[in-house]
């Protein structure tokens, strides 16, 4: 048996990575350098917890919700299925899922949706595809544990009520945002996308990977 193939579906975190308008921009710097006489290099990071590939903890949109340190980890690792969708202006609805997806989801209860036909826009995408309460209900009926999207939010950019976030949380479906599926073929994989154990945080960046076995 050959070694499993590991596909990195995390976006590269770097200076200039687009963030939600008004959110904290990413910055990395060194506070100690070997070149300056220190015994080791020591870096520091300033960033929003929603930078790049990240999970939304329920606390992000519900003051009574669980923080990033308290979410059940089993939802963020295990069997998943990747699919292409081409949503309408109303968002991603069950009718936009590919034929036969019902059977695929029942065998792999974590769903990753690719809405970009090509590369992501260079800047922040205010016209991103978004999930819908109808999609959340469809997934919950099939006992899905996690929904991941390649956009920066489950809801439309202009949304203030965040209906998809709330409906997913109501059903206990974990939220993974900002994944990079540009080099991934649709199909079944193993997902690992664990949030950091940050007490009191409303989200967390993740290093998300897919494992494809021969």
Does residue 213 register a pLDDT over 80? Answer: no
State pLDDT tens for residues 44-99: 999 999 999 999 999 999 999 999 999 999 999 999 999 999 888 889 999 999 99
Which tens digits make up the pLDDT trace of 154-202? 999 999 999 999 999 999 999 999 999 999 999 999 999 999 999 999 9
pLDDT at res. 153: 98
In DSSP notation, 45-103 reads EE--TTSSSEEE-GGGT-TTS--TTTS-GGGGEEEEEEEE---BTTB--GGGSPTTHHH
- Hey, where are the domains in the chain? 5-11+49-212
Q: Residue 196, exposed/middle/buried by CB under 10 A (0-12, 13-18, 19+)?
A: middle
Per-residue model confidence as pLDDT tens digits over 134-165: 999 999 999 999 999 999 999 999 999 999 99
pLDDT at 189: 98
In the numeric block, the tokens 């994989």 are attached to 189
Check if CATH label 3.10.180.10 holds for domain 5-11+49-212.
no
User: Which residues, including other chains, have CB under 8 Å from residue 56's CB and lie 6 or more apart?
Assistant: 50, 154, 165, 175, 177, 202, 203
Kindly indicate the confidence band of residue 28, based on its pLDDT and cuts at 50, 70 and 90.
Answer: very high
pLDDT value for 89: 83
Cβ atoms of 47 and 85 within 8 Å: the answer is no
| Per-residue tokens: 192 | 């690992």
Residue 1, pLDDT above cutoff 70: no
Which residue in 8, 3, 9 sits closest to 113, CA to CA? 9
Q: What is the pTM of this model?
A: 0.96
Q: Let me know if 60 is a catalytic residue.
A: yes
Q: What is the pLDDT of residue 90?
A: 87
Write down the catalytic residue from 50, 54, 60, 96: 60
Q: Cα–Cα distance between 150 and 180 in angstroms, integer?
A: 6
**From the CB of residue 181, how many other CB atoms can be counted at a distance below 10 Å?**
21
**What mean pLDDT, rounded, does the chain reach?**
96
Whole-number Å distance between alpha carbons of 27 and 121: 21
Residue carrying structure tokens 């595809």: 129
CB 178 within 8 Å of CB 11: yes
208 with 175: CB under 8 angstroms?
no
Confidence of residue 214 (pLDDT cuts 50, 70, 90): low
Whether the CA torsion 25, 28, 31, 36 is positive or negative: it is negative
Q: Which residues contact 92 (CB under 8 A, 6 or more apart)?
A: 85, 113, 115, 129, 130, 131, 132, 135
């Amino acid at each position: 048996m050959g070694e499993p193939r590991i596909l990195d579906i995390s976006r590269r975190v770097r200076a200039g990575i687009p963030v939600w308008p008004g959110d904290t921009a990413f910055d990395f710097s060194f506070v100690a350098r070997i070149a300056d006489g220190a015994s080791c290099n020591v870096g520091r990071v300033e960033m929003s917890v929603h930078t790049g590939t990240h999970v939304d903890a329920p606390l992000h949109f519900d003051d009574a919700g669980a923080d990033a340190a308290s979410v059940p980890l089993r939802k963020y690792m295990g069997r998943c299925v990747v699919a292409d969708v081409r949503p309408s202006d109303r968002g991603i609805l069950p009718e936009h899922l590919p034929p036969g997806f019902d059977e695929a989801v029942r065998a792999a209860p974590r769903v990753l949706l690719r809405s970009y036909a090509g590369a992501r826009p260079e800047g922040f995408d205010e016209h991103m595809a978004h999930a819908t309460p109808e999609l959340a209900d469809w997934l919950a009926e099939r006992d899905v544990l996690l929904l991941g999207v390649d956009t920066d939010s489950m809801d439309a950019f202009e949304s203030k009520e965040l209906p998809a976030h709330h409906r997913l949380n109501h059903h206990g479906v974990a939220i993974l945002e900002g994944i990079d599926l540009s080099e991934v073929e649709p199909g079944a994989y193993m997902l690992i996308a664990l949030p950091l154990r940050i007490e009191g945080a409303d989200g967390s960046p993740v290093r998300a990977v897919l494992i494809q076995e021969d």
